[in-house]
Chains A and B, each alone.
Chain A
Amino acid sequence: AQKVTQAQTEISVVEKEDVTLDCVYETRDTTYYLFWYKQPPSGELVFLIRRNSFDEQNEISGRYSWNFQKSTSSFNFTITASQVVDSAVYFCALSGGGYNKLIFGAGTRLAVHP
């Protein structure tokens, strides 16, 4: 069975703090894809990153960075120097179950205070 666990339900930080959102996944597939999505209060899911199971290279995009470790089945997301606009619910998702449907975690609500 495939499963995504985001153990942190809510995180509250003050602006400019760094914050890491954890994601642990389970799958028996050898080829799979991992995603992070952002859901602001407007409700739309915004795609942030995709990583395939053969690419463990970490990625940095501006203030965002992702750490993929197959050995621990984790795909963590770090926001450096957080801003109020980063406040949203962040979802980690896994794909590999045929037709590329996504299995989402329960999400982590991030609140960044001025």
Chain B
Amino acid sequence: DTGVSQNPRHKITKRGQNVTFRCDPISEHNRLYWYRQTLGQGPEFLTYFQNEAQLEKSRLLSDRFSAERPKGSFSTLEIQRTEQGDSAMYLCASSFDTLANYGYTFGSGTRLTVV
């Protein structure tokens, strides 16, 4: 297990379509985070899971966004009825519970382009 894996790396979709991204964290990590990064900005927190429980959602996560982590392992982030403003890099990160403040391990991200 070499790190956090995200798929796909790139996704181009037409406005109005639904998209789903997958994140496979480091296997021993029980915390999983999703962040969104738009061009020229730092990553912004979207949501956080501890095991399978979604414990916090940012106001950035509109009703069109949903995230799951069904068995406390991999996670999916779905965007329904995509809009051009959803174009961004979606980053996943994972960490140990008690070592979360030691820094997460981030994946390489999924770059979404909505045309």
Interface residues of A (CB under 8 A from B): 4, 33, 35, 37, 42-47, 50, 52, 91, 93, 95, 98-107
- Which residues of B have CB within 8 Å of A33? 101
What sequence of 0s and 1s flags, for each residue 29-62 of chain B, a beta carbon within 8 Å of any chain A beta carbon?
A: 0010101000011111100101000011000000
Q: Which of B89, B95, B103, B111 has the most CB of A within 10 A?
A: B103
Name which residue of chain B comes closest to A6, CB basis: B42
A4 to B43, CA, bound (A): 12
Q: Is the CB of B43 within 8 A of A104?
A: yes
Chain A CB within 8 A of B104 CB: yes
- The contact size tier of chain B is 20 to 34
Question: Quick one: which of A4, A35, A43, A45 contacts B111, CB cutoff 8 A?
Answer: A43
B25 close to A (CB within 8 Å): no
Given the complex, which residues of B lie within 8 Å of A103, measured CB to CB? Answer: 45
Q: In chain B, what residue has the closest Cβ to A47?
A: B103
A99: chain B residues at CB < 8 Å are: 31, 48, 50, 55-56, 100
**Chain A CB within 10 Å, residue with most, of B55, B93, B104, B111:** B104
Give, as a whole number of angstroms, the nearest-CB distance from B64 to chain A.
Answer: 21
- Which residues of chain A are near B44, meaning CB under 8 Å? 104
On chain A, the residues within 8 Å of B48 by CB distance are 99, 101
Chain B residues near A93: list those with CB within 8 A: 42
In the complex formed, the residue of A with least CB distance to B109 is: A43
B23 interface residue (CB < 8 Å to A): no
Instruction: Check A44 against B104 for contact (C-beta < 8 Å).
Output: no
- A99–B48 alpha-carbon span in the complex (Å): 8
Q: Is B105 an interface residue (CB 8 A)?
A: yes
